[in-house]
A and B are shown apart, each in its own frame.
Chain A
Amino acid sequence: MFESLQMGKYAFYIWTSYGLTLVVLVANIIIPLSQERTLLRTLGRKLRRKRRDNNESKA
């Protein structure tokens, strides 16, 4: 079945195209995921600090 994937003398052009497409598509998924994670972590840290400050000022 995979013999048809040899692509003869065009293998370089075809597989570079498909490979590059895969890289770009995956990168576009990873970037927002990591952004969201960083953002949630930053916001969480801020919130905890605010709470702590509030508690201290009460005490």
Chain B
Amino acid sequence: MWAFLHKFSSPKYFYFLSGRLIPWFAWSCLAVMLVGLYYGLFEAPPDYQQGESYRIMFVHVPAAWMSMFIYMVMAVAGGIGLIWHIKLAEIMAASSAPIGASFTFLALVTGALWGKPMWGTWWVWDARLTAELILLFLYLGVIALNSAIEDKRTAARASGVLALVGVVNIPIIHYSVEWWNTLHQGASVTKLDAPSIHISMLIPLLLMAVAFKLYYATVVLMRARCEVLDRERNSSWVQDLISAK
């Protein structure tokens, strides 16, 4: 196990393995997303209260889930980088930040576009919404630290600490709708009893969630590959790679 991890975490091995994995992730993402969109926009019936407007859910909810999932990946990778000083973990953490920020941004904006017709407002300072906004600032902080600090190792250490500190925000986002009487409704899918969402609407939602996960896998590997190439630019395997082109 450790030997395998060690081998995988070698930048050279990672570069070639990820190069082979990316097309698989990308094409399966596209396939699942098209099926999910078909079910979400054509097959799923309108909601009994919200009519057609609830279809924003199929991008809003997976984006919000991804914003938290990617944050956890980034924080864990950052922690591994802090403790064991593994270069690849630092690279994964740095590559995840912009993607996570994108999903957080999408969750906030699509939420506003859903809130305006349904709640009657684009934005309220509600616990769930505020915590999600703080998540965006945490991502931006990590991105800023990574780009502001010249030395990549120091940058990884600083942003790793920030990412770990910010982890406290994740349970707050998740439980905010239970802890406070907020405008945002409670959880539909991740409840302990049966999800309170009809199966015809649950299927496209879960398909879109899988598609977004595959999308993240594709894009984070693309970014990480690029970063590996940049950091290893003076190593012999990169030189060989360049001269072969």
A residues near B (Cβ < 8 Å) are 1, 4-5, 7-10, 13-14, 16-18, 20-21, 24-25, 27-29, 31-33, 35-36, 39-40, 43-44, 47
Q: Which residue of B lies closest to A12 (CB)?
A: B113
Specify which chain B residues have a CB less than 8 angstroms from the CB of A20 in the assembled complex: 106, 109-110
State whether A5 touches B41 (Cβ < 8 A): yes
Interface of A is mostly: helix
State whether B99 touches A28 (Cβ < 8 A): yes
State whether B113 touches A17 (Cβ < 8 A): yes
In the complex, B154 has a CB within 8 A of chain A: no
Cβ contact of B106, chosen from A1, A24, A32, cutoff 8 A? A24
Specify which chain B residues have a CB less than 8 angstroms from the CB of A43 in the assembled complex: 229, 233, 238, 242
State whether A36 touches B99 (Cβ < 8 A): no
In the complex, B139 has a CB within 8 A of chain A: no
Given A10-B117, A28-B219, A29-B222, A36–B229 Cβ distance below 8 Å?
yes
Interface bracket on B: 35 or more
State whether B229 touches A39 (Cβ < 8 A): yes
Specify which chain B residues have a CB less than 8 angstroms from the CB of A24 in the assembled complex: 102, 105-106
In the complex, B239 has a CB within 8 A of chain A: yes
In the complex the two chains form, what is the Cα distance from A28 to B222 in whole Å?
10
State whether A28 touches B102 (Cβ < 8 A): yes
State whether A10 touches B53 (Cβ < 8 A): yes
In the complex, B157 has a CB within 8 A of chain A: no
State whether A28 touches B116 (Cβ < 8 A): no
Q: How far is the CB of A20 from chain B (nearest CB, A)?
A: 6
Q: Which residue of A lies closest to B115 (CB)?
A: A13
State whether B56 touches A44 (Cβ < 8 A): no
Specify which chain B residues have a CB less than 8 angstroms from the CB of A21 in the assembled complex: 59, 63, 106, 110
Cβ contact of A25, chosen from B98, B109, B215, cutoff 8 A? B215
State whether A10 touches B41 (Cβ < 8 A): no
In the complex, B52 has a CB within 8 A of chain A: yes
Residue with the highest number of chain A CB atoms closer than 10 Å, among B51, B110, B114: B110
In the complex the two chains form, what is the Cα distance from A43 to B241 in whole Å?
10
Q: Which residue of A lies closest to B98 (CB)?
A: A28
In the complex the two chains form, what is the Cα distance from A1 to B233 in whole Å?
53
